[in-house]
């Protein structure tokens, strides 16, 4: 037996010995059903519907996004109209279309 294997075995013994002293084996006790009936909290029942606060937040967010989209579209339309007007003025000043 080499030193290395002897060292491993002694470490295994000390680890297994320590783990026994940390958690002594105990029998699990059963809890009476009447006692469990009075327990409040614990498990959370899964929701079948969306939380009203979350639903309201989603609705407000979608309205804000729609508003931003409308404002962006209006700004682009205004910008393109201004560009067209400027182009027409340039062409008129050069003697193009009247």
Taking only the tens place, the pLDDT of each residue in 34-90 is: 888 777 777 777 778 888 899 999 999 999 999 999 999 988 888 888 888 888 888
pTM higher than 0.85, yes or no?
A: no
Examine residue 88 and state whether it is found in any structural domain, yes or no: yes
Q: What is the mean pLDDT of residues 9-15?
A: 51
Examine residue 48 and state whether it is found in any structural domain, yes or no: no
Examine residue 1 and state whether it is found in any structural domain, yes or no: no
Q: What is the mean pLDDT of residues 3-21?
A: 52
Distance CA 37, CA 17 (A): 41
Examine residue 32 and state whether it is found in any structural domain, yes or no: no
Q: What is the mean pLDDT of residues 3-22?
A: 52
Q: Given this model, what pLDDT does residue 63 score?
A: 94
Domain boundaries, position 76: 66-93
68-73 long-range CB contacts below 8 Å, 24 or more apart? Answer: none
Distance CA 60, CA 21 (A): 59
Examine residue 82 and state whether it is found in any structural domain, yes or no: yes
CB 55 within 8 A of CB 61: no
Examine residue 74 and state whether it is found in any structural domain, yes or no: yes
Judge whether residue 15 has pLDDT over 70.
no
Report how many domains make up the chain: 1
Examine residue 42 and state whether it is found in any structural domain, yes or no: no
CB 92 within 8 A of CB 98: yes
- What is the band of 20 on the pLDDT scale with cuts at 50, 70, 90? low
Examine residue 52 and state whether it is found in any structural domain, yes or no: no
52-57 long-range CB contacts below 8 Å, 24 or more apart? Answer: none
Q: Given this model, what pLDDT does residue 23 score?
A: 65
Interior CA angle at 64 toward 62 and 67, to 5°? 110
């Amino acid at each position: 037996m080499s030193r290395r294997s002897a060292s491993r075995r002694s470490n295994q013994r000390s680890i297994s010995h320590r783990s026994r002293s940390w958690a002594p084996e105990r029998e699990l006790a059963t809890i009476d059903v009447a006692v469990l009936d009075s327990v409040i909290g614990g498990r959370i029942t899964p929701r079948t519907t969306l939380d009203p606060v979350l639903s309201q937040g989603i609705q407000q967010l979608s309205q804000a996004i729609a508003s931003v989209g409308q404002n962006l579209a209006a700004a682009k339309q205004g910008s393109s109209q201004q560009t067209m007007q400027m182009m027409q003025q340039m062409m008129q000043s050069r003697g193009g279309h009247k």
